[in-house]
Structure 1
Amino acid sequence: MNQKLIVISVDAMSGADDIAYARTLPVFGRLLGRAAVAEIEAVFPTLTYPNHTAQVTGCTPAVSGIFNNVLMQPGITHPDWFWEYDRLQAPTLMDAAKAAGLTVATVQWPVTAGAPFDVVVPEIANEDHFGGLEAAMERFCSPRGHELWQRHRDKTVWHPKRRHDDMSTAVVVDTLLEDRPDVLFWHLVDVDSARHLHGATGEHVREALRATDERIGRALAALDATGDHERTNVVIVSDHGHLDTEQHTNLNVLLRERGFLRTDDEHRLLGWEAYCHSAGLSGQVFLADDITPERRAAVEELLREVEATPEYRVERVWTEAEARAETGLGGPFAYVVESEPGVIVGGALDRRVVVRKGDDDFRGYLGNHGHHPRHGAQPVFLAAGPAFVPGADAGRRRMIDEAPTLAAALGLALPHAEGAAMVELLVGATEREPVALPAATLEEPEVTAALDAPAAFVADAVATERA
């Protein structure tokens, strides 16, 4: 029996904060009753796009080329993200699946715009840069993906922040019912959005988890309707945790004060020798190609001053070479600025250098990420299906170990991956005995139902979704 794989990313779901509550929900609870699990250490920075790329390549940002969510576009308030698939510098699990003759679908998965797969509905914005929404989606979806997006585009929520989870759920349900792909990658963002808007913990997160549970239930109901459920491996992953935002340290304002960049009276960028490219709770400092050795030394002296000044709350300044060697974060920048937990390393040009929560001019997200992965709650890896040992626990593993594990579940190899498969989770791949799930995960030990039937409350979900 050929096995299938569905990977569902619940953006910003964390083990320490969310698993106990997820156990009480119908779909997550059934999954956790038999899941093989691991606590995942994200790549640095703990941003969505570098980590989703690590999940499908098994590579760190220095190798994958995706070192930030957004491109380095100095002075632009809303830069483009790393939308396009051809920006990847490492092969993916989807490439391996396609080469093996498997059908592949990606729905709202980061860095998939223009990907060469059967069903592609990418995550993309800044549509005006691509000729408008219609032109962008026609260009970057696969033909079948564009058809499905057109069918369900009205389900996108636009305010207060554009969210695609209802639309993507409808697309996934129809893809599972009509296309029945061998491999599907799906990205859900409501938990992340809730934490950004209202903070790292609270009822708003539980509300988002409930909505996510119901959406995943619709997908499992579609699998049940086609008879694909028993041979499908369902894997829930996440990309990072969140920390409550306490301060902005706007390095570009300091760089301007010290003469390393120039702006006009409207705070528009005119020129720069050094520029801070924000990565949320960290930053990447770029130097102009023509900067002199003397000016470069002056920038480094300023960064050491920042590191030593308590009010800036900067934990460490890394050279690019240090960050690459110690964390796998590399790219075309010169330095990495790591803040203390909860401090945004800001790229804004129109604010004070230091803005603290409670100040009149403090604005932006109340929860954020981009921090070093040693801080805060960690992402999850929950896998159930014929390839995984129920109850097995791989302990704490690296994000780059996910792609080789998923490849092994499909009988594929990723020779370019830097990570290694979590063989203790895989049927037939190890002699190790499965370990009991952590106590926090087993607060309801009587819930042991396998994922061989979706929760009752979604029994009519397929009919509802198609209506």
Structure 2
Amino acid sequence: MLVKRILFVAFALGGMLQVRAQSAKHVVLISIDGLRPEFYLDPAWPAPHLRQLKQQGVYARQVVGVFPTVTYPSHTSIVTGQPPGKHGIYYNTPFEAPKGRWYWEDSSIKTPTLWKAVKHAGLTSGAVMWPVTVGAPIDYNFPVRRADGDEKTDQLSVTRPYITPAGMLDQMAAAGNGTVTADDFKYRDVDRTIGRMGAFIFKQYQPALLAIHFIQADHAQHEHGRDAPEVKTAVAVIDSMIGRVIAAVEESGQTSNTTIIVTGDHGFVDATQSVAPNVLLEKNGLISGDDWKAKFYTTGGSAFLYTKKAGDAATTQQVEQLLRQLPHGDQWFRIVTKKELEAIGANPEVELALAMKKGFVASNAIKGPLIRTKPLGGAHGYYPDFDEIYTGFIAAGNGIKKGSTLARLRMLDIAPVICRLLGIPPIGNGTVALPDIFSNR
């Protein structure tokens, strides 16, 4: 009996020590919207902190994303280890949603998230501007919530009711980090604001998991193309804010206990032409005013076919024939079959998709020309099977082997890696069988 008690006490103490050890570990997950690997591989880009992290840890030359390669599905895959077809965030905005209705709420996600896994392990989490986190079980959270889908409106007043804890920004000001105003969310300042909040959350609360989403590199590439001077300016600002977060870790005395991961959601493609597949459907009687038998929903470099009657094989076949009969269609896009969509884990509600070729984007327009010229701008949303659309990955710090390079990593592998680093049960269908990443601990 005494032996059993001793074993029980030893087991209990061991469990307590394990929890304490885990709670002393931290992962800072940084997403750069529109991150391309050359930001840290090419010294011409103004990113000294990214290159320093790359030298101190592990980096990937390519990270293969999900389909479509857009922000909200990708960020949800990062924190679930699941593709859109499983986690349920198919695009940035739901099909036929009213104006301003995006996938804001955590309740839209159908599979376990890192936030939930961390909470179930008795640890804490924080997030700044991470998509699909309104109402998420995040202890220190400044989520994304906008009015009317317009990123130029007052982000702060719209988001304030969803901040947890409610007084977090007041605590930030009281701690000498300055007040946060509506002007701080204008594009010229937004990433500085995000970096400032991220650094404060780590230093003040030291959560086990802190996720930070920087957005200006995406905006600059959309507006000006992949390699415009404005993109380099955006990257320089983001890199400086990553430096600020690293400094907060150091000032907290947690450098040896912290892993910093930098990743992204998609790359970018310069596009000068737009294809409107719904024009083809309207001309052939499949769309008539508000009524339709088949309709494409487009998101950058892809278009997804819905049929009014789910699984309408005859209508799907008709659409596919119309597409294949286009004289130059194969120069604009390739058809992604239902079987391919299932294999890559895309939206199960659609019958087929169009993967646009480089230089082309898809449009939701129903009237006008099928193909039209557009001003030069960057785009994403493409099928993740070519260099320009891949994103990147760097990991450095606690638990990470120094000096390793991965030729390729899947976005779905990131959540299981974070779970292993935090010592919590894994989520997702990725793999932690990545011996070149982890150090012996």
Same fold, judged at TM 0.5 (above): yes
Q: Which residue of 2 aligns with 1:342?
A: 359
CA contact (8 A) 1:115 1:140 kept: no
1:171 aligns with 2:197: yes
1:128 and 1:310 mapped to 2: Cα distance?
Answer: 35
Q: Structure 1: give runs of 5+ residues left out of the alignment.
A: 264-269, 357-361, 430-467
Q: Which residue among 171, 184, 194 is the counterpart of 2:220?
A: 194
Q: Would the alpha carbon gap of residues 204 and 133 (structure 1) be closer, same or farther in structure 2, given more than 3 Å must change?
A: closer
- The unaligned stretches of length 5 or more in structure 2 are 1-20, 174-178
Look up the match of 1:233.
259
Query: In structure 1, what is the equivalent of residue 180 of structure 2?
Result: 152
| 1:215 Cα offset (Å) | 1.0
Q: Report Cα offsets for 1:50-77 as digits up to 9, x if no partner.
A: 2111111111111111221221016x6x
Specify the code of the residue in structure 2 equivalent to 1:14: R
Q: Summarize the alignment of residues 15-164 of structure 1 with structure 2, pairs less than 5 Å apart.
A: 15-16=37-38, 18-21=40-43, 25-38=47-60, 39-73=62-96, 78=99, 80-127=101-148, 136-144=158-166, 147=169, 151-158=179-186, 164=190
Q: 1:374 corresponds to which residue?
A: 385
Match of 1:322 among 321, 329, 340: 340
Give how far 1:305 is off. 2.7
Q: Is structure 2 residue 312 aligned with structure 1 residue 250?
A: no
Q: Cα offset for 1:207?
A: 1.4
2:394 maps to a residue whose letter is L
In the alignment, the residues of structure 2 paired with residue 242 and residue 53 of structure 1 have an alpha-carbon distance, to the nearest angstrom, of: 19
Compute the RMSD of aligned alpha carbons: 2.8
| Structure 2 CA distance for partners of 1:279 and 1:250, relative to 1, 3 Å | same
Shift of 1:295: 3.9
Aligned match of 2:318: 298
Corresponding residue number in structure 1 for 2:435: 423
Query: Against the structure 1 CA distance between its residues 291 and 390, is the aligned structure 2 distance closer, same or farther, given a 3 Å change threshold?
Result: closer
The 2-side partners of 1:291 and 1:332 are apart by 8
May I ask how many residue pairs the two structures share in their alignment?
409
2:127 counterpart SS class: strand
Structure-2 residue corresponding to 1:280: 300
Indicate conservation of the 8 Å contact 2:249/2:255, yes or no.
yes
Q: Give me the identity figure in percent.
A: 27
CA shift, 1:255, in A, is 1.6
Match in the other structure for 2:241: 215
Q: Deviations over 1:132-191 (max 9, x none)?
A: 9677424433234764699414343436xx973222222212212222212100000111
TM-score, normalised via structure 2 length: 0.85
Distance 1:421 1:292, change over 3 A: closer
Q: Can you list the C-alpha shifts for 1:318-364, whole angstroms capped at 9, x where unaligned?
A: 23333112x221332221111111211211235421012xxxxx35x
Q: Distance in 1 between matches of 2:156 and 2:31?
A: 26
Corresponding residue SS for 1:424: coil
| Alpha-carbon distance between aligned partners in 2 of 1:17 and 1:223, rounded to the nearest angstrom | 23
Q: Given residue 323 of structure 1, which amino acid in structure 2 is its aligned partner?
A: L
Deviations 1:231-277 (A, max 9, x none): 111111111110101210011222222221123xxxxxx22221111
Pair 1:349–1:337, CA change in 2 (3 A): same
CA distance in 1, matches of 2:355, 2:229: 30
SS at match of 1:21: coil
Counterpart secondary structure, 1:246:
strand
Amino acid at match of 2:337: T
Matched, 1:353 2:353: no
Residues 281-303 of structure 1: CA deviation (Å, up to 9, x unaligned): 01111111379665444233223
Query: In the alignment, is the contact (CA less than 8 A) between 2:415 and 2:430 conserved in 1?
Result: no
TM-score normalized with structure 1 length: 0.80
**Structure 1 residue corresponding to 2:35, chosen from 4, 10, 13:** 13
The answer for the alignment partner of 1:433 in structure 2 is none
Looking at structure 2, the residues matched to 128 and 43 of structure 1 have their Cα atoms a distance apart, in angstroms, of 23
Match of 1:413 among 410, 419, 425: 425
**CA distance, structure 2, for counterparts of residue 128 and residue 18 of structure 1:** 32
CA distance in 1, matches of 2:167, 2:328: 51
Q: 1:382 to 1:293 in 2, by over 3 A?
A: closer
Alignment check: 8 A CA contact 2:416 2:428 kept: no
Query: Would you say the 8 A contact 2:80–2:427 is kept in 1?
Result: no
Contact 1:48 1:239 (C-alpha < 8 Å) held by counterparts: yes
What is the CA–CA distance in structure 1 between the aligned matches of 2:221 and 2:437, rounded to whole Å? 30
The one-character-per-residue Cα deviations of 1:108-128 (angstroms, maximum 9, x if unpaired) are 111111112101111222358
Q: Is the 8 A contact 1:281 1:371 kept in 2?
A: yes
**Partner residue, 1:440:** none
Trace 1:431-450 onto structure 2 (pairs within 5 A). none
**Distance between the aligned counterparts of 1:272 and 1:33, measured in 2?**
55
CA contact (8 A) 1:104 1:183 kept: yes
Structure 1 pair 292/303, CA: closer, same or farther in 2 (3 Å)?
A: same
User: What is the SS of the residue equivalent to 1:313?
Assistant: helix
Residues 214 and 292 of structure 1, relative CA distance in 2, 3 Å threshold: closer
Deviation of 1:373 after TM superposition, in Å, equals 1.4
